[in-house]
Amino acid sequence: MKLRNLTERFLENLAEAVDSLSVGSTPSSLNPTIAVLSALVLTGTAAFSYGFALPALILAISVVLVLLAHSSVRQWTKILLFVSVWVALVSAPLPFITPGKSIAVLSLGLIELGVSFEGLNEMIAFISRTTAAAAIFTSFASAMGWRRIVNGLEGLRMPGQFGLFLNLSIIHIPLFLRETAKMLSARESRIVRKIRIREVWRVLSTVVGDLLLRGYERSWRLEKAINARSFIPLEPSLKTPSTAMGIKDFLLLFISLCILTLGVLSVV
């Protein structure tokens, strides 16, 4: 596979993922404020939990949420696998550096590395915590979409400017990723003879500078566009109609608080 195709495919897939996350899977009937509050509570509980029971429970809840919301299970699983592999790499030294009962010894030439039971336990607990936290947050994100998450954060009294910035980021990240792919193609189309990979990279790396300039240009125009339609001296807000609380919201909040209580009790 050619490098260019791989890069372009990566950029396009990333843009597609951000796009799909910004809209969400189905029009959710959940109150965004309650859903975001629950997402934060459950993510926090998963991230700071001890042992395996709570992460496993939260992982199960996220699976149920993904299935109920008819989100793309494949995409969600891809994200989880990516997170798990990444965390496994980061936590790989733990079994070797944590003191404790040695269960195996790895011989690497002159060096011998001892694998401790406590370290292995730490590593697995870390992976499960992180995966569960990522799983629950992405399940909410894929069900609600970033846009409703921003609405929820606004409902939690987040400053209006922050909401606007988040919304703009959600819209502009895919645009810039696609623009980058186009710029790479435009540059590569002008490499008309066979040159060394180092030279190719030198040409392609100029995209970074161009992206910065384009980013500045676009943000300058965007500021003008927002100002042109802002009639009041206050910062513009992207308010949307509020959704009333229903039985589903109460149930979700109740489950989240129960899990938080379980988490706190397990620590105490």
Is position 155 an interface residue for other proteins (rule: CB under 8 A)? no
Dist CA 65 CA 259 (whole Å)? 15
Report the nearest approach of other proteins to the CB of residue 125 (Å): 38
Is position 147 an interface residue for other proteins (rule: CB under 8 A)? yes
Tell me the window of 36-44, 45-53, 208-216, 222-230 that interacts with other proteins (CB under 8 A).
222-230
Report the nearest approach of other proteins to the CB of residue 71 (Å): 18
Please identify which residue in 105, 228, 247, 268 interacts with other proteins, judged by CB under 8 A. 228
Three-state DSSP string of 90-156: HHCCHHHHCCCCEEEEEEECCEEEEEEHHHHHHHHHHHHHHHHHHHHHHHHHHHHCHHHHHHHHHHC
Is position 127 an interface residue for other proteins (rule: CB under 8 A)? no
Residue 16 or 122: the one with the smaller Cβ distance to other proteins is: 16
Dist CA 75 CA 266 (whole Å)? 33
Dist CA 14 CA 19 (whole Å)? 9
Report the nearest approach of other proteins to the CB of residue 154 (Å): 13
Q: Please classify residue 211 by burial: count the beta carbons closer than 10 Å to its beta carbon, then call 0-12 exposed, 13-18 middle and 19+ buried.
A: middle
Is position 232 an interface residue for other proteins (rule: CB under 8 A)? yes
Tell me the window of 85-93, 133-141, 170-178, 183-191 that interacts with other proteins (CB under 8 A).
170-178
Residue 4 or 214: the one with the smaller Cβ distance to other proteins is: 214
Alpha-carbon distances, residue 106 vs 57, 67, 150, 174, 177 (angstroms): 34, 42, 48, 45, 43
Dist CA 74 CA 118 (whole Å)? 34
Report the nearest approach of other proteins to the CB of residue 241 (Å): 5
Report the nearest approach of other proteins to the CB of residue 111 (Å): 54
Interface with other proteins by CB under 8 A: which residues? Answer: 19, 22-23, 147, 167-168, 170-171, 174-175, 218, 221-222, 224-233, 236-241
